[in-house]
A and B are shown apart, each in its own frame.
Chain A
Amino acid sequence: MILSGWESVFFWIFSIAAILAGLLTVMARNAVHSALFLISSLVSVAALFILLGAEFIAGVQILVYVGGVMVLFLFVIMLVNVGAEEAGRAAIFNRPPQIVATLVFLALLALVLIVYVIPKGPQVQSKAAGAEKQQQVDAARAAREQKMDVGATGVSRVSKETERVGTSLYTYASLPFEIASLLLLVAIIGSVMLARTFKQEAAVDDVDPEVLKTTASPTDSAKS
């Protein structure tokens, strides 16, 4: 699985974008900025999925993760009214053990990167062998493309990846699929129940809201 040419350019662009956006997600002071940076990171990772040939998963990621989960995050940030919570830079990075631990882990990460990015031993013996290997990769890609169907316009090719993933989901993974749909049902019911106000709960059971307020939070007396 070797990317080459423009694919490698896009790989580096999207991977550096994903890492930078992830870093900014964690470092942003404002929660809305964090959400937007996370959206950028998720879209970059979806582009990496497309580079890896998983178009269906990229589409699912953008529709479900970005379009559903992140929009839910933004709604909750709006409801919870984060606002000036992070105003005035909270001192999160000033204690010596913290700095030492961070430096140690960064050194470990740099070591791992150096060991893995620089390949061991000669990968390409000579220019001729390199060109031959490139030809093999291109030939394999061309053979793969020949097997794909031609698109409706006659210009591009349509891959069967989505069809294979769908077949796999409905034949080999049909039981987990049904269990996942049950899980989603439970999550829907649970989240609706968790986010109800006192008035809504009282309206369901025809109970006086005041009774619910006094019995629902017995810990308030413990705190005071």
Chain B
Amino acid sequence: MLQEGGRLANTLYAVKHPDLSKFLVIAAILFIIGVAGVLTRRNIIVIFMSIELILNAANLNFIAFSRYLQDSGSGNPLAGQVFTVFIIVVAAAEAAVGLGIVIALYRNRETIWIDEIDLMKW
């Protein structure tokens, strides 16, 4: 079963020596979990946290590609890390403003259950 070149041997090799694709799959799974959190939860703050998870998955993608381009030597390999810094900056700014909105909302409506914040619904 473990013959060389066989499927099991290849899988074992891929597991023992993770490549770029494993990082992308991990980032995709984190992204999916974040999107599921945004769509499912009804607490505004947990929705914000799921958005942070989504941005983090994108960051992991960028850094993985940055390292891959460094090793395979083409283009501007450090662009991934520079972009990640900007994503972290934007995420921090968005979290600050979003949580300010949540506080103002709580002061006026006394709720953070998003089913009850439906004033602008049709």
Residues of A within 8 A of B (CB): 1-4, 8, 11-12, 15, 18-19, 22-23, 25-26, 28, 31, 34-35, 38, 41-42, 45, 48-49, 52-54, 56-57, 60-61, 64-65, 68-69, 72-73, 76-77, 79-80, 82, 85-86, 90, 92, 105, 109, 112-113, 116-119, 121-127, 130, 137, 140, 161, 164-165, 168-169, 172-173, 176, 180, 183-184, 186-188, 190-195, 197, 217, 219, 223
Contacts and interface: CB of A to CB of B under 8 A. Distances in A.
B82 A169 contact: yes
Contacts of B74: none
A4 B49 contact: no
Contact of B25 (A41, A42, A116, A192): A116
Interface in B23-41: 23, 25-26, 28-30, 32-34, 36-37, 40-41
Contacts of B42: 90
A42 B23 CA distance: 15
Interface of B: 4-5, 7, 9-11, 13-23, 25-26, 28-30, 32-34, 36-37, 40-43, 45-46, 48-50, 52-53, 56, 59-60, 63-64, 66-68, 70-72, 76, 78-79, 81-82, 84-86, 88-97, 99-104, 106-108, 112-113, 119
Given A26-B36, A124-B13, A169-B82, A72 B108 contact: no
Contacts of B102: 76, 80
User: Shortest 3 CB-CB distances between A and B: which pairs?
Assistant: A194-B100, A187-B93, A26-B37
Contact of A41 (B7, B17, B56, B67): B56
Contacts of A80: 45, 102-103, 106, 112
B18 A65 contact: no
B90 A183 contact: yes
Q: Classify the secondary structure of B's interface with A.
A: helix
A205 to B, nearest CB: 18
A79 B93 contact: no
A22 B59 contact: no
Contact of B23 (A48, A73, A193): A48
Given A19-B26, A42-B56, A72-B96, 13 more contacts: A1-B70, A12-B18, A57-B63, A65-B56, A69-B92, A79-B106, A85-B43, A92-B40, A165-B81, A184-B93, A190-B100, A191-B96, A223-B119
A60 B82 CA distance: 12
Given A8-B18, A187-B96, A197-B107, A69 B52 contact: yes
